[in-house]
Structure 1
């Protein structure tokens, strides 16, 4: 299993890194479009569509992304979209988690599918918009999610006695959440100092530098804590949907890693919410 995970990770990096570091944004936009379409296929399967129905759902999501791209919306995204995404994740996420696993299938299937379509489309739009703001910008956001996850893992293993949501994700603890949040604050401070030491300009600034310049360092750190918390919400919502469907992984598309949704669940809320702060 470990060997399989490593091989899959190396293949993904070999595909992702050239697209991410390309001078033109279109390779990254095209690659992430395919990944998000695959995630849409997984979402449809987890919510009762199978076979051609799930493929059709993924195709509709891909077509929506392509139309958005052709319309030029990826380079001039209205800030209202990020604000609406924030409302959906904060209020909707709280509602879904409060109802728990039994409450998810009680929602009409059409509503669950439409919700997944909009959230995945918004996440892809945020990915492309973040990349257009610079490599430093998007990498800083990726690292917020990765740091929150890694710090939560080690903090949870060391101190995690009080479970966060045992009916949804038994491995998560409150200590893990706090550790993840602390880790992201440390990351933000270090990254901000490095940006200033290297005299990074506005055209290639990180998310930390841009937001600190607009709302102040203290407010930026509170925003980082908020993003770390919302990464947990994204993870829990995806776990809840999987448990409702009786599935361990969202699919087997990524050998050793599960599915695409399993890899991007924490990014789904973080990316559009991060752009809320960057648009202030």
Structure 2
């Protein structure tokens, strides 16, 4: 399993890193488009749309992303996705409705189209702001995840959401937040690799408020992670798919990014 996981990670790096660092924005957008379409397919599968239904949904998601490029600005998409994550995200985690049935399934299938289109636009907009900027945005989620893993392993005692994801702890969540605070604070103080998400926030609203905004983003990265965990638990599967051997599915890799990306672009104004 470890060997498979490492090989998959190396292949992904070989594909994503050069395109992110050196390719034109159009090529980066095309690559993210592929990611979004596969994520949409997995989203529909978790909502039990069936084999044909999931494929049709992925095609519709691709069409929605393509058509959304004609919008004068992506901000309305960011706002709609932000409302979804701010309201529906916590509600679902607290109330635990059956997501793959009735009105909830219809709602989540419709909302998913907005969520994935907003994800695509946020990443492309971030890439247009610069390589360092898009990497700094992704780093918020990566640091929160890595910090949570090691802090949870070392200090984790109090379960964060035992009925949804038994492995996550409050200590891990705090460790992830601390990792983001340390790195982003250092980047702001040292003016490292500017412009970044951190420097942009600090320039607009000041250091203290910038760190508060980053705290909010870390919290929503946890919500995104738990939201997908709940979808998988209700669907009775461990991974969103087997597309990435050793890593699960595409949604397993981007679940925490889905709320963070549109919210970050919104909070930047």
TM-score range for the pair, normalised by the shorter chain length: over 0.9
Residue 51 of structure 1 aligns with which residue?
Answer: 51
Q: How far apart, in 1, do the equivalents of 2:186 and 2:253 lie? A: 26
Query: Deviation at 1:251?
Result: 0.1
| RMSD over equivalenced CA pairs, Å | 1.5
| Aligned residues of 1:93 and 1:233 also touching (Cα < 8 A) | yes
1:237-248 to structure 2, matched below 5 A, reads: 237-248=227-238
- TM-score (norm. length: structure 1): 0.91
- Corresponding residue number in structure 2 for 1:166: 162
- Which residue of the partner structure matches residue 262 of structure 1? 252
CA distance in 1 between counterparts of 2:98 and 2:53 reads 23
User: Equivalent residues in 2 for 1:1-280 (5 A)?
Assistant: 1-69=1-69, 71=70, 73=71, 77-100=73-96, 102-108=97-103, 109-195=105-191, 200=194, 205-279=195-269
Greater mean alpha carbon deviation, residues 84-93 or residues 177-186: 84-93
In structure 2, runs of 5+ residues without a counterpart are none
| Cα-to-partner distance string for 1:67-96 (whole Å, 9 max, x where unaligned) | 223x2x4xx634343233222111111111
Return the alpha-carbon distance in structure 1 between the equivalents of residues 48 and 76 of structure 2.
Answer: 31
Q: Give the paired residue count.
A: 268
8 Å CA contact 1:21–1:135 kept in 2: the answer is: yes
CA contact (8 A) 2:84 2:111 kept: no
Distance 1:146 1:131, change over 3 A: same
Could you tell me which runs of 5 or more consecutive residues in structure 1 were left unpaired when the two chains were aligned: none
Q: Which moved more, 1:224-233 or 1:15-24?
A: 15-24
Query: In 2, distance between residues paired with 1:88 and 1:56?
Result: 23
Higher mean C-alpha displacement, 220-229 vs 103-112: 103-112
Cα drift, residue 158 of structure 1: 1.4
Deviations 1:27-85 (A, max 9, x none): 1100110111001111111111122211110011011112223x2x4xx6343432332
